[in-house]
Amino acid sequence: MGRSYIVDEAVGQYLLNFDIKDRAYVSGLLIGQCSSQRDYVLLATRTPPKEEQNESPQRAQSALADLDEEWASAHANQVSRMLPGGLLVLGVFILTAPELAKDVQNVLRRLIFSVEKSISKARLWNLSEEEVSERIALHICSSSKKILCRTYDIQDPKSSAKPAEWKYQNGLSSSWLSLECTIHVNIHIPLSSTSAGYTLEKNTKNGLLRWAKQIENGVFLINGQVKEEDSNLLEGQKKSSRGNTQANSQTFDVRVLTPLLQSSNNRSTATVQVCSGSVNLRGDVKCRAYVHSNKPKVKEAVQALKRDILNTVSDRSHILFEDLLMTETPAPQNMNSEKEFHSLPHRVFVPIPGSSVMLCDYKFGDESTAAVREHFEEMLDRSVRVEDLEIAEEMNAGELSTSNGFSRKLANRPD
């Protein structure tokens, strides 16, 4: 038998409640957490139909060949930004009429690799060799409700399907521990003249990769202590009257100590670099990660929080660049030592119903909470109350300094 997937019962109810009368199939994403022994599926969300499909039911998908991989991957990219540390897109699902069953696996395989390529493109980190690289391809028959669960190895483009076990568990959504920290960010990214032809987004990512190494090499104090990587995160916690560690909904406070860019023990050589501008990202960033309470290792918890730190800073810069493109902000006429200041988006958290786990999104200062709620509902296919939105208290800004010869090009555009 292959991998085991422990699935929240609410996910099963969500998947089996779809009515596909108007279309041949419904597809979407499975969200949860990987561990060495088993994976946990906490959430499922369908890929929203395109606007033209909503407006013209007769244009709705009639066959699997109509599945738009680019649209599904764009949805996965948006949802990936909404996941705190420890959670990721575990795979895809598709609900079809019985007559389409024979074509499903090829479609699921293509979709898994397309989705993974989309969400990993902007990451500042890579999967390590010991991490799980299998992703779920779940098929549900709309008539019999029979479920077929298989996996593909995303590290192997020639990977073939492996069988997997899909098991429901009540109360899975309440069995999570959270780690929280506020990290001060002050990142200076010089824009080299030799890279002036690159997009601003690519230049910024190159600079963020250097900063990411500091975070990766940082020391993480959990409740004020340095803990052994292979020790249990709950080690030393208080026991309940029954002798069990009180794990449900427990929160760990984390402080991050980052090393200097240069070690004082090593000699360094100064270099002169001709630059055409710079990007500065400054502020205090709220970070949050979750791990399942079943024998959690310190190493896994720290890794989840590290990745949340990297993801949230990277995602904010991408969202800012997208916003500047959409608003068509003009470049300064006088390029001599011009500076532009832009507020980076704030983080907004919202709880998964019945769970201590919170998902997140981002909002600019002039954006309404109603708009954020609508985005949550569209991406996650579930209702959200405005009063449940938790806006993180953060101070952050991006500064773009340009000088003569630097072209402020935010992103490549199609011809």
pLDDT value for 288 = 98
Structure confidence at residue 413 as a pLDDT band (50, 70, 90): very low
pLDDT value for 405 = 40
| pLDDT over 90 at 137, yes or no | yes
Counted residue by residue, the chain has a size of 415
How far is 301 from 232, CA to CA, in rounded Å?
10
pLDDT tens, residue by residue, 35-94 = 877 899 999 999 998 876 554 444 445 578 789 999 999 999 999 999 999 999 999 999
Structure confidence at residue 122 as a pLDDT band (50, 70, 90): confident
Choose between 334 and 84: higher pLDDT.
84
pLDDT tens, residue by residue, 369-405 = 999 999 999 999 999 999 999 998 666 777 666 544 4
Choose between 5 and 103: higher pLDDT.
5
Residue with tokens 């660049």: 321
Contact in structure between 350 and 359 (CB atoms under 8 Å): yes
Average pLDDT over residues 143-154: 95
Report phi then psi at 190, rounded to 5.
-70, 140
Provide CATH 3.40.140.10 ranges for the chain.
4-172
Structure confidence at residue 125 as a pLDDT band (50, 70, 90): very high
pLDDT value for 52 = 60
| pLDDT over 70 at 406, yes or no | no
pLDDT tens, residue by residue, 260-308 = 765 555 666 667 777 878 888 888 899 999 999 998 999 999 999 999 9
pLDDT value for 21 = 76
- Single out the residue of 348, 387, 383, 384 nearest to residue 365, CA to CA: 348
Tokens of 23: 């279309």
Sign of the four-CA dihedral 350, 285, 402, 121:
negative
Q: What is the pTM of this model?
A: 0.88
How far is 292 from 135, CA to CA, in rounded Å?
18
pLDDT tens, residue by residue, 164-181 = 999 999 989 888 999 999
Average pLDDT over residues 3-18: 95
Contact in structure between 25 and 100 (CB atoms under 8 Å): yes
Give bridge partners of residue 166 from the DSSP assignment. 5
Domain spanning 4-172: which CATH class is it, in words? Answer: alpha beta
Rg (C-alpha) for the chain, rounded Å, is: 23
Choose between 113 and 260: higher pLDDT.
113
pLDDT value for 335 = 42
pLDDT value for 327 = 74
Q: 3-state SS string over the chain?
A: CCCEEEEEHHHHHHHHCCCCCCCCEEEEEEEEEECCCCEEEEEEEECCCCHHHHHCHHHCCCCHHHCCHHHHHHHHHHHHHCCCECCEEEEEEEEECHHHHHHHHHHHHHHHHHHHHHHHCCCCCCCCCCCCCEEEEEEEECCCCCEEEEEEECCCCCCCCEECEEEEECCHHHCEEEEEEEEEEEEEEEEEHHHCCCCHHHHHHHHHHHHHHHHHCCEEEECCECCCCCCECCCCCCECCCCCECCCCCEEEEEEECCCCCCCCCCCCCCCCCEEEEEEEEEEEEEEEEEECCCCEHHHHHHHHHHHHHHHHHHHHHHHHHHHHHCCCCCCCCCCCEEEEECCCEEEEEECCCCCCEEEEEECCCCCHHHHHHHHHHHHCCCCCHHHCEECCCEEEEEEEECCCCCCCCCCCCC
pLDDT value for 276 = 76
Tokens of 171: 């109360």
pLDDT value for 397 = 72
How far is 256 from 305, CA to CA, in rounded Å?
10
In percent, the amount of the chain with pLDDT more than 90 equals: 57
| pLDDT over 90 at 119, yes or no | yes
Structure confidence at residue 409 as a pLDDT band (50, 70, 90): very low
Average pLDDT, the chain: 85
How far is 297 from 300, CA to CA, in rounded Å?
5
